[in-house]
Structure 1
Amino acid sequence: MNRIGKLNWAFAGGHIPFASTGEEPMFNSHDKIAILNTAEEEAEIEIFIFYENSAPVGSYSLKVKAQRLRKVRFNDLIDPEAIQLERKFSCYLRSSLPVVVQFSRMDTGQAANAVMGTIAFPAD
C-alpha cells in the first residue's frame, strides 16, 4: 500500500471547554485528532502545544501502528503537562512517516451537543 500524507501538521484553533454534560467519558467536551498511517511501518509521532502567553509544551510522544488509525483526545495528553482547559491552544505534529491528520471538537457544555471536524494543515 502507498504511503500517503505529510510529515508535519498543524492546527490553530484548539480549545477544550471546562463544562460538559452527559455521561462521562463519552460526552466530555474534548478536542481530538485522528491519525491515519497507511505505511507498512509504525509511525512515531511528536506533538507540541502552543499557547498565547507562554512557552510551547512538548513533546508528547505516541505511536501509530502500521496501516492503522489512532484517535487521540487532547484531554488525555498529560505527560509532560496536561492540556489546560478553557485556554486557547494550537498544535504542531511531527511524524516519522507520512500520515493524514484530522482535527475534531466535541463541545458538550450545553444540553444541545455540537461536534465539528476539519483536516489539519499539512505543513510540508
Structure 2
Amino acid sequence: MCKGIGKNVWIIPDGFLPEKSNGDFNSHEAICVLNTGDEAAEISIIVYFEDREPMEKFDVVCEARRTNHIRLDKIKSESSKMIPVGVPYALKVESSVPIVVQHSRMDTTQAEMTLMTTIAY
C-alpha cells in the first residue's frame, strides 16, 4: 500500500482569468494535481474574492496514482456556476487524501504569451 505524498489542504492566493485573449490560445489557469496514493482523491475547491462571498462546491476527483489538470476557466460548481472572468480570486483546495498541487497561468492577453507556474502552499 502506497501512502500518498503531499498535503490535504492547499492555498493559491493569486488567481485571475482575463476577459480577453489574443490569438489561437485562450488565457486560462489550471490546478495541476498529482495523487501518488492508492485511493482516489475527492477534491473540493472554494473560490474567495475581495468583495463578495466565496463560491463553493467545485468538486473533482483525481484517481489513485494519476494526475488531473483542472482548467479553472472550464470548471463548474455543483450549481453550474463558473469562476468569473476579470475578477481577482484566491483558492482553497481540500482533498480527502494527500495530494500535490501546482498552479499554472497561461496569459495570452498579448501576442507574446507567457506561462507562469508555482507549487501551491
Normalised by the shorter chain, which TM-score bucket?
over 0.9
Counterpart residue number, 1:62: 60
Q: Which digits, 9 at most, give the CA deviation of each residue in 1:69-105, with x for residues without a partner?
A: 0001110122232111011000001000000000010
Structure 2 residue 79 is matched with structure 1 residue 96: no
Unmatched tracts of structure 1, length 5 or more:
none
Counterpart residue number, 1:3: 4
Residue identity over aligned pairs, in percent, reads 37
CA RMSD between the two structures = 0.9
Q: Which digits, 9 at most, give the CA deviation of each residue in 1:12-68, with x for residues without a partner?
A: 100011111222xxx110111100000111110000000100001012111001100
Q: Which moved more, 1:14-23 or 1:40-49?
A: 14-23
* Distance of 2:4 and 2:37 partners within structure 1: 5
Q: How many residues align?
A: 118
Structure 2 residue 49 is matched with structure 1 residue 51: yes
* Distance of 1:46 and 1:94 partners within structure 2: 5
Structure 2 residue 96 is matched with structure 1 residue 109: no
The CA deviation at 1:114 is: 0.6
Aligned to 1:75, the other structure's residue is in SS state coil
Structure 2 residue 15 is matched with structure 1 residue 14: yes
TM-score for the superposition, normalised by structure 2: 0.94
TM-score for the superposition, normalised by structure 1: 0.92
Runs of 4+ in 1 over 4 A off after TM superposition: none
Q: How does 1:5-44 map to 2 (within 5 A)?
A: 5-23=6-24, 27-44=25-42
